[in-house]
């Protein structure tokens, strides 16, 4: 069973995403922000990370950049799921090392498809 | 008890009394008698057991008494004791025994001997029987002798008594004398050293007789400390050399009074020339001393007066010998006779030979009661001196002439003054005559007034001026005031008064007068007051001139001049006249005010117009100036810069014109000048202002443009943020809806229910968001209009609190305090609702469920204050401003739902009501929002 770490500070949204992913057969761990995620990284050993961009304490870009600088998780697939929609945001996200950039709101299967392809 | 009676006989009262006492003490009864005759009488009548008798007594002496007792049958056994004086001889004792005396005792005998004798004789009395003695032959002779002796003794006693009385009297007198003379006496027994002071001596020293024992030390203790050494030496020397001496001294009484004393003493010697006694007196001479001193002082005073008098004195006795004289008198004699006056010598001898006879004659006259005074010049003295000499006799109270008193005064100065006065008088007379001459010949009218300003004299010229002749004016009884023009009268009379009272001695006045024919003329008066020797004004002399024509011409000229001056001085234009070398000829006050230099310094320094011209303007101004001087142009109007005295540069506008002499040559350039610096400056300022305005407008436009750009940016940003805010709830709704549809079978009914509720929640959140965004948009577009209605603030807030409570899910404590004086306010209910609801929901949202929220509403002057306080998470101090911006939320809100628009809307609402909002907060402790809204 593949493990997914979901970094999202909006509880009602993270609940729904987690529900869908679990029903798709993933093991999901939800954290509120980048810092929490980094702290939990070694224990949770995720196969993939989904992260929001606008979060308190550490935003998504910084979080992705941080992960990419860490040896054991340097190549872990990361999906940015954000309400930010500009092309600049998207470019920036890919530059810091995200593997996919999905806009909120999106269809569940769009997210699931993206995850599946990254985990293949 | 042996009650025997003893008869004691003695002619000496004291012995009688003593003897009687002795026997009475021994228990005997005693009868006394003063002589033998009386004793016999007593023996005759009384029963006597023992007789004690003296020998020497008048009439019947002791022997005869004893013999008579023995030969008298009835008495013969009475024992007899002869108690006689010590000077009795042993033959007396034999004689006593012979005539039958039982016992002979010499006086004075101890008391016990007498008593013992008496006891013995009285105890043996019965067994003892006396035989009748033979009358001794010597008895009569003895009696006669004794009687003689007694008589002699009595006489002696009498003499002694007299001497004693006399002594006492003399002692009393001495005491009195001492008291009166303030003389105290003292003596020292040189053998025993015993000292005695008289009463007066004690008095002199001011101490009581009982207070101290007389001694030399006591005497010295009174002496004034300054005199003490002298007194000690004097006394010491006296004792050493045993010579009599005396000295003066001062002493101080115990009461502190200083007194003067005189002491004198003398030694008494015995035959061997050994000192026996030292006698002395002390006299209190204080009063004498005082009187002496007063006299000396008064004499000295008199002498001083005498010596310092400005009158010389010589006193002569009747023999014309000089008794006394003073300095001034001595000087006079020295001047007249070249001799020094001497006391005691003949006064005539001091006079020069040629005067002796005259003086002698005068003296005789004076001595016979005459009085002479004369003045004498002493031509020999240099400078010449004059003396005034008076001679008069000195008489005693009976009118007897005792001598001559000569008074001399030096009158040299007075004489000189007199001569000078006479000369001055003559000069004055001459001057007066000269003056009269001038008066008669002057073109001025001459008038002489008395001190009431009545005419005393009135010259012909005066008549010509005023029309009245002297006689007419006098007879009309007019005074000086009556011809004064009435408008001038007040001040003229005041000035005239000063003259008449002597306050001023002369004046010169110009005023209008009436003439005889009623014309008014201008007269110039030269008045002077003449005073008598007491300083009283007796005459006022006036010289008068008719100056009417001159005055009128003057006035016209003055008026014209004044007008001109007025214009020149009051114009803002400076008025300057230059000569044809551009040097200053005249320079008005205004010119001075413009340039700073004054006329005098400019004329003195020959400063030229061109030297005042600003360097840059000088070339063309020189050109213009030379054209004026050459006559090429007659006037010019120039505007250029000039220097001022203090080095400033000013802008001036010049109007120049030339004056030419009769040959057509320019001799004066007249300039009117005006400082136009301010105008120039104003122009500059105006120009600068305009430039500034343009600049400002440009800047404003640029700013507006930037603002517009910013606004556009802000709007696009707003749209972007707003869309972002919508995307999150939309995502939730989308995922939840998709879950239900796609995984329907995998979900429990409960889960499905939860997701549906979530969809509803997010939908309503989005609705709220939309509402807020619309509100913000409306507010920013100025589309919200404030509509005030009257409402009850307390009720209004209470209803809002209830509404908030119903929205919030948990049970929360909201404490409401309302302390406004008046609950009725005019306010926009929608805006107010927005504000209060927002504040309350925020407070509840960001604080723990178990903490209270407090809302306090109070009134300030003209406004209400709403404070909402919670104990929640608080706001970072750095974010106090940011939280009021759209979509800005505190960094610590984390999971708490919000649009980020609440405070922005709240702030807009407060601003629309012209209010203000303030936040106080600290992290994790709580926040307090205060909103102040003015009420109408």
Q: How does DSSP assign B822-852, residue by residue?
A: --EEEE-HHHHHHHHHHHHHHHHHTS-TTS-
* Cβ atoms of residues B179 and B281 within 8 Å: no
Q: Which two three-digit tokens encode residue B883? A: 């939280």
**Number of A–B residue contacts, CB under 8 Å:** 73
> Which chain B residues are within 8 Å of A107, Cβ to Cβ?
734, 738
CA distance A109 to chain B (A): 9
* Cβ atoms of residues B840 and B879 within 8 Å: no
Q: Which of B129-133, B336-340, B662-666, B856-860 shows the highest mean pLDDT?
A: B856-860
pLDDT at B875 over 50: yes
Q: Taking CA atoms, what residue in B is nearest to A14? A: B732
User: For residue A21, what pLDDT is reported?
Assistant: 94
Q: Rounded CA gap, B78 and B357, in Å? A: 116
B736: pLDDT confidence band, cut at 50, 70 and 90? Answer: very high
Asked if A54 reaches chain B (Cβ–Cβ under 8 Å), the answer is: yes
Q: Are B743 and A23 within 8 A, CB to CB? A: yes
Q: Rounded CA gap, B932 and B913, in Å? A: 10
CA distance A72 to chain B (A): 30
Distance in angstroms between the alpha carbons of the first and the last residue of chain B: 147
> Which chain A residues are within 8 Å of B720, Cβ to Cβ?
85-86
Asked if A120 reaches chain B (Cβ–Cβ under 8 Å), the answer is: no
Q: Are B728 and A23 within 8 A, CB to CB? A: no
Q: Rounded CA gap, B882 and B893, in Å? A: 14
pLDDT at B1 over 50: no
Q: From the list B727, B743, B891, which residue is nearest A104 (CB)?
A: B727
B399 contacts: CB under 8 Å, gap ≥ 6: none
pLDDT at B2 over 60: no
Q: Are B739 and A56 within 8 A, CB to CB? A: no
User: For residue B871, what pLDDT is reported?
Assistant: 93
Question: Which of A85, A47, A86, A79 minimizes the C-alpha distance to A63?
Answer: A79
Q: Which two three-digit tokens encode residue B707? A: 């603002």
Q: What is the DSSP string of B535-578?
A: S-EEEEEEEEEE-HHHHHHHHHHHHHHHHHHHHHHHSSSEEEEE
Residues B531-569 pLDDT 10s:
888 888 888 888 888 888 888 888 888 888 788 777 776
Asked if B626 reaches chain A (Cβ–Cβ under 8 Å), the answer is: no
B624 contacts: CB under 8 Å, gap ≥ 6: B633, B636, B638
B606 contacts: CB under 8 Å, gap ≥ 6: B583
> Which chain A residues are within 8 Å of B894, Cβ to Cβ?
9, 32, 56
> Which chain B residues are within 8 Å of A106, Cβ to Cβ?
731, 734
Pairing type for strands B455-458 and B445-450 reads antiparallel
What does residue B861 show for φ and ψ, rounded to 5 degrees?
-75, 115
Give the pLDDT mean for B836-855. 90
* Cβ atoms of residues B354 and B379 within 8 Å: no
Q: Which two three-digit tokens encode residue B798? A: 């209470």
User: For residue B125, what pLDDT is reported?
Assistant: 52
Question: Which of B594, B585, B570, B580 minimizes the C-alpha distance to B628?
Answer: B580
Q: Are A105 and B733 within 8 A, CB to CB? A: yes
CB atoms within 10 A of CB B54: 25
Q: For residue B387, list its beta bridge partners.
A: B376, B410
Q: From the list B727, B761, B894, which residue is nearest A83 (CB)?
A: B727
Asked if A110 reaches chain B (Cβ–Cβ under 8 Å), the answer is: no
Q: Which two three-digit tokens encode residue B60? A: 């019947």
What does residue B892 show for φ and ψ, rounded to 5 degrees?
-105, 15
CB proximity under 8 Å: A 60-89 to B: 83-86
Output B544 or B441, whichever has higher pLDDT. B544
pLDDT at B630 over 60: yes
> Which chain A residues are within 8 Å of B730, Cβ to Cβ?
104-105
What percent of chain B clears pLDDT 70, i.e. is strictly above it?
96
Q: Are A12 and B738 within 8 A, CB to CB? A: no
User: For residue B136, what pLDDT is reported?
Assistant: 66
Q: Rounded CA gap, B363 and B365, in Å? A: 5
What does residue B926 show for φ and ψ, rounded to 5 degrees?
140, 170
B689 contacts: CB under 8 Å, gap ≥ 6: none
Give the pLDDT mean for B770-799. 85
User: For residue A112, what pLDDT is reported?
Assistant: 93
pTM over 0.80: no
The burial class, CB within 10 Å (0-12 / 13-18 / 19+), for B648 is exposed
Residues B231-249 pLDDT 10s:
888 888 888 888 888 888 8
Residues A20-60 pLDDT 10s:
999 999 999 999 888 889 899 888 889 999 999 887 778 88
Give the pLDDT mean for B827-851. 89
Give the pLDDT mean for B410-431. 85
Distance in angstroms between the alpha carbons of the first and the last residue of chain A: 13
What does residue B40 show for φ and ψ, rounded to 5 degrees?
-65, -40
User: For residue B130, what pLDDT is reported?
Assistant: 66
What does residue A43 show for φ and ψ, rounded to 5 degrees?
-75, -45
B721: pLDDT confidence band, cut at 50, 70 and 90? Answer: confident
CA distance A119 to chain B (A): 21
SS3 readout for B354-374: HHHHHHHHHHHHHHCCCEEEE
CA dihedral (B651, B655, B659, B660) positive or negative: positive
Question: Which of A104, A63, A59, A97 minimizes the C-alpha distance to A81?
Answer: A104
H or E segment to which residue B866 belongs: strand B863-869
CA distance A10 to chain B (A): 7
SS3 B757: helix
> Which chain B residues are within 8 Å of A15, Cβ to Cβ?
758
Q: Which two three-digit tokens encode residue B148? A: 């003689």
The burial class, CB within 10 Å (0-12 / 13-18 / 19+), for B50 is buried
Q: From the list A13, A19, A85, which residue is nearest B731 (CB)?
A: A13
**How many residues are given for chain A?**
120
pLDDT at B519 over 80: yes
Q: From the list A9, A103, A106, which residue is nearest B894 (CB)?
A: A9
Give the pLDDT mean for A3-23. 92
pLDDT at B504 over 90: no
Any idea what the Cα angle at residue B159 is, between residues B155 and B164, rounded to 5°? 145
Any idea what the Cα angle at residue A80 is, between residues A78 and A81, rounded to 5°? 135
Q: At what angle do helices B749-780 and B902-912 cross, to 10 degrees?
A: 30
- What rounded mean pLDDT belongs to chain B? 85
Question: Which of B66, B130, B128 minimizes the C-alpha distance to B93?
Answer: B66
B733: pLDDT confidence band, cut at 50, 70 and 90? Answer: very high
Q: Rounded CA gap, B321 and B343, in Å? A: 8
Testing the interface with A: which of B727, B735, B899 to mutate, by most A Cβ within 10 A?
B735
- The most distant pair of C-alpha atoms in chain B lies apart, rounded to whole Å, by 213
CA distance A120 to chain B (A): 23
Q: Are B732 and A85 within 8 A, CB to CB? A: no
Q: For residue B347, list its beta bridge partners.
A: none
Give the pLDDT mean for B191-200. 84
Q: Which of B441-455, B700-714, B829-843 shows the highest mean pLDDT?
A: B829-843
User: For residue B87, what pLDDT is reported?
Assistant: 60
Q: Rounded CA gap, B69 and B82, in Å? A: 13
Give the pLDDT mean for B409-433. 85
Query: Which of B391-400, B453-462, B562-571 shows the lowest mean pLDDT across its residues?
Result: B562-571
CA distance A28 to chain B (A): 16
* Cβ atoms of residues B19 and B10 within 8 Å: yes
pLDDT at B202 over 80: yes
Give the pLDDT mean for A48-75. 85
Question: Which of B857, B864, B849, B868 minimizes the C-alpha distance to B921?
Answer: B868
Output B89 or B681, whichever has higher pLDDT. B681
Give the pLDDT mean for B899-913. 86
Testing the interface with B: which of A105, A109, A110 to mutate, by most B Cβ within 10 A?
A105
pLDDT at B40 over 80: yes
Asked if A58 reaches chain B (Cβ–Cβ under 8 Å), the answer is: no
Asked if A113 reaches chain B (Cβ–Cβ under 8 Å), the answer is: no
Testing the interface with A: which of B717, B721, B728, B764 to mutate, by most A Cβ within 10 A?
B728
């Amino acid at each position: 069973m593949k493990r997914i770490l979901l970094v999202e500070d909006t509880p009602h949204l993270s609940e729904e995403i987690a529900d869908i992913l679990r029903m798709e057969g993933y093991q999901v761990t939800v954290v509120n922000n980048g810092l929490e995620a980094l702290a939990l990284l070694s224990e949770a050993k995720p196969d993939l990370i989904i992260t929001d961009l606008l979060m308190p304490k550490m935003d998504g870009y910084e979080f992705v950049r941080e992960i990419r600088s860490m040896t054991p998780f340097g190549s872990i697939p990361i999906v940015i799921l954000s309400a930010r929609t500009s092309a600049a945001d998207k470019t920036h996200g890919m530059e810091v090392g995200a593997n996919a950039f999905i806009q909120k709101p999106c269809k569940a299967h769009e997210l699931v498809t993206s995850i599946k392809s990254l985990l293949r | 008890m042996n009650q025997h009676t003893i008869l004691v006989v003695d002619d000496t009262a004291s012995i009688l009394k003593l003897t009687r006492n002795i026997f009475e003490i021994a228990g005997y009864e005693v009868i006394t008698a003063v002589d033998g005759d009386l004793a016999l009488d007593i023996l005759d009548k009384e029963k006597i057991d023992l007789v004690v008798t003296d020998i020497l007594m008048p009439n019947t002496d002791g022997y005869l008494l004893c013999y008579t007792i023995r030969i008298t049958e009835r008495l013969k056994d009475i024992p007899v004791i002869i108690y006689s004086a010590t000077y009795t001889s042993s033959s007396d004792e034999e004689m006593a025994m012979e005539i039958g005396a039982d016992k002979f005792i010499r006086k004075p005998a101890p008391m016990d001997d007498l008593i013992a004798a008496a006891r013995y004789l009285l105890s043996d009395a019965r067994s003892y029987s006396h035989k009748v003695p033979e009358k001794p032959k010597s008895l009569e002779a003895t009696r006669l002798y004794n009687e003689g002796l007694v008589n002699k003794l009595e006489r002696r006693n009498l003499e002694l008594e007299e001497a004693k009385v006399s002594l006492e009297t003399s002692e009393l007198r001495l005491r009195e004398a001492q008291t009166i003379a303030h003389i105290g006496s003292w003596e020292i027994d040189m053998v025993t050293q015993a000292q005695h002071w008289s009463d007066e001596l004690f008095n002199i020293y001011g101490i009581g007789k009982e207070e101290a024992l007389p001694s030399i030390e006591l005497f010295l203790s009174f002496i004034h400390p300054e005199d003490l050494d002298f007194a000690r030496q004097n006394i010491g020397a006296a004792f050493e050399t045993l010579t009599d001496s005396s000295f003066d001294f001062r002493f101080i009484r115990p009461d502190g009074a200083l007194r003067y004393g005189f002491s004198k003493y003398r030694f008494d010697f015995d035959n061997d020339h050994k000192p026996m006694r030292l006698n002395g007196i002390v006299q209190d001479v204080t009063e004498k001393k005082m009187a002496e001193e007063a006299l000396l002082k008064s004499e000295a005073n008199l002498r001083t007066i005498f010596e310092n008098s400005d009158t010389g004195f010589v006193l002569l006795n009747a023999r014309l010998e000089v008794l006394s004289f003073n300095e001034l008198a001595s000087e006079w004699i020295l001047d007249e006779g070249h001799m020094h006056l001497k006391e005691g010598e003949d006064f005539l001898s001091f006079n020069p030979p040629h005067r002796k006879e005259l003086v002698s004659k005068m003296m005789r006259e004076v001595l016979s009661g005459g009085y002479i005074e004369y003045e004498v010049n002493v031509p020999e003295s240099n400078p010449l001196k004059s003396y005034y000499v008076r001679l008069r006799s000195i008489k005693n109270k009976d009118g007897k002439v005792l001598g001559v008193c000569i008074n001399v005064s030096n009158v040299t100065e007075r004489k000189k003054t007199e001569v000078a006065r006479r000369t001055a008088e003559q000069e004055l007379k001459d001057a007066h005559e000269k003056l009269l001459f001038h008066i008669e010949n002057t073109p001025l009218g001459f008038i002489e007034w008395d001190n009431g300003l009545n005419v005393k004299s009135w010259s012909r010229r005066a008549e010509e001026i005023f029309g009245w002749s002297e006689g007419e004016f006098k007879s009309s009884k007019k005074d000086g005031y009556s011809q004064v023009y009435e408008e001038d009268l007040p001040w003229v009379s005041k000035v005239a008064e000063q003259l008449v009272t002597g306050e001023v001695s002369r004046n010169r006045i110009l005023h209008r007068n009436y003439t005889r024919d009623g014309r008014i003329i201008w007269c110039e008066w030269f008045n002077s007051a003449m005073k008598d020797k007491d300083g009283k004004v007796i005459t006022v002399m006036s010289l008068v001139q008719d100056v009417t024509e001159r005055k009128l011409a003057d006035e016209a000229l003055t008026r014209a001049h004044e007008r001109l001056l007025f214009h020149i001085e009051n114009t803002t234009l400076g008025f300057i006249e230059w000569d044809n070398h551009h040097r200053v000829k005249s320079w008005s006050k205004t010119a001075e005010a413009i340039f700073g230099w004054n006329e005098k310094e400019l004329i003195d320094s020959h400063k030229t117009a061109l030297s005042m011209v600003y360097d840059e303007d000088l070339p063309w101004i020189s050109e213009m100036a030379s054209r004026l001087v050459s006559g090429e142009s007659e006037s010019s109007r120039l505007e250029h810069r000039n220097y001022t005295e203090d080095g400033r540069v000013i802008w001036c506008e010049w109007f120049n014109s030339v004056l030419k002499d009769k040959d057509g040559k320019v001799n004066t350039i007249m300039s009117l000048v005006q400082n136009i610096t301010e105008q120039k400056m104003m122009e500059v300022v105006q120009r600068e202002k305009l430039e500034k305005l343009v600049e400002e407008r440009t800047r404003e436009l640029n700013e507006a443009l930037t603002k517009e750009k910013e606004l556009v940016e802000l709007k696009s940003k707003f749209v972007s943020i707003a869309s972002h805010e919508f995307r999150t709830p939309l995502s939730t709704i989308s995922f939840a809806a998709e879950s239900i549809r796609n995984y329907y079978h995998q979900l429990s009914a409960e889960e499905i229910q939860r997701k549906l509720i979530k969809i509803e929640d997010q939908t309503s959140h989005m609705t709220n968001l939309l509402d807020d965004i619309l509100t913000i948009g409306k507010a920013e577009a100025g589309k919200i209009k404030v509509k005030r209605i009257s409402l009850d603030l307390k009720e209004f807030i209470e209803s809002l609190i209830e509404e908030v409570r119903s929205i919030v899910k948990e049970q929360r404590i909201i404490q409401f305090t309302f302390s406004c004086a008046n609950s009725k306010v005019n306010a926009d209910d929608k805006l107010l609702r927005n504000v209060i609801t927002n504040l309350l929901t925020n407070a509840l949202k960001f604080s723990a469920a178990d903490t209270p929220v407090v809302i306090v509403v109070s009134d300030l002057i003209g406004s209400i204050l709403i404070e909402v306080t919670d104990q929640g998470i608080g706001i970072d101090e750095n974010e106090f401003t940011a939280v009021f911006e759209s979509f800005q939320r505190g960094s610590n809100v984390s999971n708490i739902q919000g649009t980020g628009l609440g405070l922005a809307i709240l702030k807009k609402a407060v601003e629309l009501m012209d209010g203000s909002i303030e936040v106080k907060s600290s992290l994790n402790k709580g926040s307090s929002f205060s909103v102040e809204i003015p009420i109408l």
